[in-house]
Amino acid sequence: MPSESEIMDSTAASIISYFNIKCNPVYSSPYAVTIWHAKGDKEKLLNITTYMKESSRCAPREIRFRWYRQVEAYGKPVPEVCDIFGISRKTYYKWYRRDHGLGPSQYKARAIHPHTKLTPEIKVAVVGAKLQLNYGPQKMHDYLIQRHGVSVCPSVLYRFFKKKRLIRKPQRKQRWYTPMKEPYRASIPGENVQLDVKYVPGRESSWEYQYRFIDTVTNMQYAVDMEAKDARATIVALRGAVRSLPFPVLGIQTDNGSEFRGVFHVYLVRHGIAHRYIPKRSAPWNGKVERANRSVDDEFYLNSNRPWNTLREYTRWYNRERPHLGRDMNGMTPHQKFLSLSTPQLSPLKGN
């Protein structure tokens, strides 16, 4: 019976000849074969690690029968052979049954259960719709019913989103800031600018996030569409508002959404801009910007006869031509209101 050293030499020579490599002291092949062959009187060692991990789905037939020869001809236990060749015992026995006529000789994909609704074809449709429309589990459930006639449970869709990392903005716990105790009443332009975000139709049948800033004194607004809804996108939108508004922004009023916390709050503090948070479930405290969000829907997005082609054109009309009937506006446009507050008012001279 061959000695242990001869067995190891035979195994090494077989693998080396198959991959067409030379027996160097340390050699790494494209299949991650690492061989260390000791010389001299020391015991010869062969350390073969994960040489099949980067290869095809199955080991070549020649290599597989070398597994069996180590067990049947040389009497080595199966676990030791598996460690030498870098395979699992499950893999060894699976191919042993196939190669010895005890199982199918060709690879056969696992059959899909007849009751499975999230089939490979539906998965492709879900991934495409998620990337394009960013639907949540419930909307995706309705979408599949309408488009594909398949009803998939929303919880199943959520787990699929999570597994494929399709949830773009995972909720993270952030510091909760102290809200205001009562509504803030500003007296000069820029002292309190309300900020909010809404979904709007984007390009190529997608949805975008529209950031809207509106001054509570003059009703002058600035709006911009962004592809993301996070604190960094809010900073970019704020920089655009600071450049566009004709007065300095001294304070920002928002709700406690995650896009208005974290680095955005730090940015405001560093630039000396007051940040005011409204309490929970107090949307009327942000009534100016909420009403402006409704107005842009009525006058721009839902108006098929609108004379403006872009959001920028609508915003210019809103600030310079649209009359406002809100508190202290008296039918003036936001631009006229700003000019009236910027021009010093001369009091009439009193007679003797």
Condensed to tens digits (0 to 9), the pLDDT of residues 128-144 reads 999 888 899 999 999 99
Burial category of 334 from C-beta neighbours within 10 Å (exposed 0-12, middle 13-18, buried 19 and up): buried
pLDDT digits (tens, 9 = 90+) for 240-266: 999 999 999 999 999 988 889 889 999
- In the predicted structure, residue 20 carries a pLDDT above the cut 60: no
Average pLDDT, the chain: 79
Q: What is the pLDDT of residue 127?
A: 92
Pair 54, 103: CB distance under 8 Å: no
pLDDT band at 44 (very low <50, low <70, confident <90, very high): very low
Q: What is the pLDDT of residue 189?
A: 92
pLDDT band at 239 (very low <50, low <70, confident <90, very high): very high
pLDDT digits (tens, 9 = 90+) for 301-314: 888 888 988 999 99
Q: What is the pLDDT of residue 97?
A: 86
Q: What is the pLDDT of residue 247?
A: 93
**pLDDT average, residue stretch 288-294:** 90
Q: Which of 59-68, 71-80, 285-294 has the lowest mean pLDDT?
A: 59-68
Sign of the alpha-carbon torsion through 215, 219, 220, 226 = positive
**DSSP states along 104-133:** -SS--PPPPPTT--S-HHHHHHHHHHHHHH
Q: Which of 51-65, 172-186, 220-234, 326-340 has the lowest mean pLDDT?
A: 51-65
- In the predicted structure, residue 345 carries a pLDDT above the cut 70: no
pLDDT band at 27 (very low <50, low <70, confident <90, very high): very low
Q: Which of 84-88, 101-105, 286-290 has the lowest mean pLDDT?
A: 101-105
**DSSP states along 171-186:** ----PPPPPPSS----
The size of the chain, in residues, is: 352
Q: What is the pLDDT of residue 207?
A: 83
Q: What percent of the chain has pLDDT over 70?
A: 75
pTM of the complete model: 0.52
Amino acid symbol at 260: F
What's 67's DSSP letter? H
- In the predicted structure, residue 46 carries a pLDDT above the cut 50: no
What's 50's DSSP letter? S
Between 16 and 99, residue with greater pLDDT: 99
- In the predicted structure, residue 39 carries a pLDDT above the cut 70: no
Measured in Å, how far apart are the chain's first and last C-alpha atoms?
133
Spatial distance between the Cα atoms of 345 and 341, rounded to a whole number of angstroms: 8
Between 322 and 19, residue with greater pLDDT: 322
**pLDDT average, residue stretch 55-73:** 78
Q: What is the pLDDT of residue 117?
A: 85
